[in-house]
A = this chain, B = another copy of it.
């Protein structure tokens, strides 16, 4: 079993319930991970994911090996048949197979480059590990998705459940740096598994990948979108059509107290890190209705659930069954 995208969740409702159980007794399965090793490979910076994933693994009694690939390792090659006579020192074929010899689960963070849309959509790093690793893989945010974040978001929303069918709004907000669509993508996919009045709001031209948003409602008028909302989830992403560019930085999209007044006393959510007074005003983020720290708390239980499911599932080697890798890897 892998946890690569929201699509790997068979029943979101069930998963959320299980995660909330773990949250009540996080050390209940303290021996489940005994003598099992989680390898955490970072191709990008990380705070919440880095710490919450370690915390979850520790709660399960696992060993942890953290590796920052960029400064502790070297550049990898992902192209099949490449003549490796320049930058990259090692091919993903070897790297993934080798790490699989030392780890029982591999967790990977590798952001979008935001230069080449096709390449980002191909999920070069994550797919490479999926293909050539022989142990389960966890996505700690890839080019196009951040399913651990969205699972934590689902848990957090469940803790603030409304009596009625909730209205949930994903709102774009301005940001000085070009950011990936990963968090927004996974949030959309997660919401598509929920009973809710779900609305995405963003400036025209900032549409996410339509293969992901599918029939999800899009409303270009942010104020209208906010009306009667129960949850406002703010997030910036760079332009998906003019790929990776910042084509809008309109401060009118910043989440303000006035805008929150349009809602049904909505909870404010963000995956963090958040740019204060750019994405959202201090007054909103510091208000009682902000649940961003709870989202961060739930990152631990989201990933602990995933680790637990993997540890409890029968081993299903990846690459070993692929024709590209017909030879058996002895382990």
Contacts and interface: CB of A to CB of B under 8 A. Distances in A.
Interface residues of A, number: 71
Given A68-B71, A90-B273, A296 B48 contact: no
A27 to B, nearest CB: 6
A37 B55 contact: yes
Nearest to A55: B102
Contact of A81 (B85, B277, B294): B277
A95 B47 contact: yes
A266 interface: no
B101 A296 contact: yes
Contacts of A300: 101-102
B63 A68 contact: no
Nearest to A296: B98
A245 to B, nearest CB: 18
Interface string A295-325: 0110110000000000000000000000011
Contacts of A27: 35
Interface in A64-86: 65, 67-68, 71-74, 77, 81-86
B58 A68 contact: no
Interface in A42-63: 42, 45-48, 50-52, 54-55, 58, 63
Nearest to A288: B327
Stoichiometry, copies per complex: 3
A171 to B, nearest CB: 18
Given A67-B50, A68-B71, A102-B300, A275 B85 contact: yes
Contact of A276 (B67, B91, B98, B285): B91
13 contacts: A47-B95, A50-B72, A51-B102, A77-B276, A81-B277, A82-B277, A91-B276, A93-B276, A94-B296, A98-B272, A98-B296, A288-B326, A294-B329
Going nearest first, the 8 A-B pairs with the smallest beta carbon separation are: A90-B273, A84-B275, A51-B102, A83-B277, A98-B296, A55-B102, A101-B297, A89-B273
Interface of A: 27, 30, 35, 37, 39, 42, 45-48, 50-52, 54-55, 58, 63, 65, 67-68, 71-74, 77, 81-86, 89-91, 93-95, 97-99, 101-103, 176, 272-278, 282, 285-288, 290, 292-294, 296-297, 299-300, 324-327, 329-331
